[in-house]
Homo-oligomer: A and B are copies of this chain.
Amino acid sequence: MKKYNDFRVCSVGRTLEVLGDKWIFLILREAFFGETHFDGFAKSLGIATNVLSDRLRWLVQNGVMKKEKDANDGRRACYRLTRKGLDIYAITLTLMQWGDRWLAGDDGPPLTLTHKTCGNTLTPVVCCEACGKPVLAREVSWQPGPGAKEKKRGEKIKE
């Protein structure tokens, strides 16, 4: 995976260094749909096998997925999400929600989610953990956090 020059110290940039590839998100989506096998990913996504191999290795290296041997078939590998990987579900949901809202045709979204806990159709909303309300961009301000200086080791920072 390539590096960015990205001079702003920000977790968005760090996340994109791990997940910032089109295929990664699609592989993870398939994983959330239950896929675990190499050929399953390949067939669903139409991805070149060398790239799939590379991306799965990357995801394992970065602790997002773990590779195990299939108990029933020694040839097969099982790629499963770690807790770190399962936590990406929130990102996948927001990607899906944006597409449902802005890219779906008049027919509506191609896929519907059900929140089994409450029984309703799931519409994912990003909320403030403290007050529980949906978050709008204009209602948020930002300031340096505790780890702000961390990246100064040798690297350029804006201004």
Contact = CB atoms under 8 A, between A and B. Distances in A.
Interface string A121-159: 111111111111101110111111111111100000010
Given A44-B7, A142-B113, A108 B16 contact: no
A118 B130 contact: yes
Contact of A111 (B107, B108, B135, B148): B148
Given A44-B158, A95-B16, A108 B147 contact: yes
Contacts of A100: 11
Contact residues of A: prevailing secondary structure: mixed
A120 B2 CA distance: 36
A14 interface: yes
Q: Kindly state the interface size class of chain A when it binds its partner.
A: 35 or more
A60 interface: no
Contacts of A94: 90-91, 93-94, 126
Counting every copy of the chain, the complex holds: 2
B110 A158 contact: no
A71 interface: no
Nearest to A109: B145
A87 interface: yes
Interface string A38-71: 0000011111000000000000000000000000
19 contacts: A5-B45, A6-B46, A8-B44, A10-B99, A14-B104, A15-B103, A20-B25, A21-B22, A32-B137, A87-B98, A89-B126, A105-B147, A107-B147, A109-B145, A112-B142, A116-B139, A118-B130, A122-B129, A127-B127
